[in-house]
Structure 1
Amino acid sequence: MRAPLQFVLDFFTGGDPVPPTQPKPAILPPEPAPSALKPPASGHDALRGMDAPLPMAAGFTHPAANRHAQLQGVAVSFRFERSRRKSIGFMVGADGLVVRAPNWVTLREVDAAVQEKGAWIVAKLQQFKDRQTEQFQKAIEWRHGAEVPFLGRTVQLCVMERGVGRVHGQDLPPDQILPVTVPPGASVTQVRDAAQVWLKKQAKTLFEERLHHFAPRLGVRWRQLSLSSASTRWGSARQDGHIRLNWRLIHLPISQIDYVVVHELAHLREMNHSPRFWETVGEVMPDYAQRRQALRQAPVDLKEG
């Protein structure tokens, strides 16, 4: 008779172990449909962190996920691995949830353990994302003269009060400033909101240009572009040609933006992440692996769809 399973839950940045628990059987729902740079209502949709505190994400997906579960009403796709460890282990990091178990533990027992610790898992996933958001928010002070990431460089936030005019940034070239006009005495939130309107406008124009550039090279047609504010994904694609791209991509270098654009367009040919999908991406972007790695190291770590 086998000894009872011992569950060890290790948060990526540290955490207290959870006492041993006897697993209970659980049945996972079928694997969800393909695509999505994890959408914000589900997880793969945007540059995290420049807005006010984000609500609970609609889902969390590890980029190398091979199992799925509904935990506390949240879709969680995680990476499951066999290991030589003596217990089932859980780790939450930048990529999401990783579950490891010894060879003798059945998948039913693994699924039961995931369900058993569902509340802890969802809480840690959200904490990790919130922590990343806070770190990025601290990097930008929404005030006159602040430096804002834009296309991999920075532009200076130039705040003009209606009826007063510009105070700083008059000598800078137009391509080095982010101009906003706000009411006299505007709050930091008003300045931030006005700046984001400008950023979203730039994002929409640039994304459409890049979609038009790459779609013919992939032999696909996109029909609609929507900007996303997702908390966990850079973008998503639907079979009907509807592309969603996180507007916060505008903060990143054009090489990384192009990677996300090509990734989503490639889904119009292959609605999965199979070898054929990556071959499709490689047709027009042979160095996609390097661009993907750079994207994963961005200040806000979102997922591809």
Structure 2
Amino acid sequence: MAERTFYASLHRAWGDGRYVCVGLDPDNVLIPDCIVGTVERRIGEFCRTIVDATESVASAFKINSAFFEQYGVPGARLLEELIAYIKDRQPDRLVILDAKRGDIDNTNRYYARAVFDVLGADVVTVHPYMGYESLRPFLERADKGVIVMAANSTPGAEEFQGLMVGEPPRAMYEHIGRTVAENWNRAANCSVTAGATEPDKLARLRATVADMPILLLGLGAQGGDLDECLRVGRARRNFGLIPNSSRAILYASSGRDFADAATDAARSFNRRLSGA
């Protein structure tokens, strides 16, 4: 039976030519009008249809929990059902819960239980601010993945991520990358983030983390330079990137053909990633 750890699943997907990570950020305002019913029904049907349309080329699905949590109990139920749907259809596809957890160790113990054991996600995003000891409940789960927020290209990110720290001085995001790669990745289950709109930061992170995977954010609708990111961001021994695209795939069409359009967009993106 094939190993189903974070890295093993990624390497299998890359070896099969699947690279794109499809971001599931369902915005009710943007969901095509052909899907009718309550907000919860529209979101559920839309997400399941996108999964069906893109699963053949996707290495992973990244679900932003906020898009579901905003609806309270029905949203939490939708989130749990969506993860179960993906794992039932494609158990080899990674489910990344973009929840950006980060608290004291006792609280994180329950967050880890909720994310991994209740919801059934394979990977979670976390904040590094409180250090290794606080994140131990996530980091010690060798069967699961942990993506640590390092570099982002959103407005305001530079306020802290660009601070020069340590000796010799390096940017905070580089310090985070080095710390994760050299000290936190004891279970071989870690990754860090980089923004696709700033390839220079991606290049610095790649030099810092060696072959550790990097979740690449800001592609597609946010205008990241894919070709440059591939040039500077790929690892030496493997593909090395988890390139996420959300809106460019989800909303490739606002009509009844939205599923076919999503399939075409994901396939096109995957071809570019594979160099075909």
**What TM-score, normalized to structure 2?**
0.28
The structure whose Rg is larger is: 1
Q: Which has the higher strand share?
A: 1
Q: Which has the higher contact order (CA 8 A, sep 6+)?
A: 1
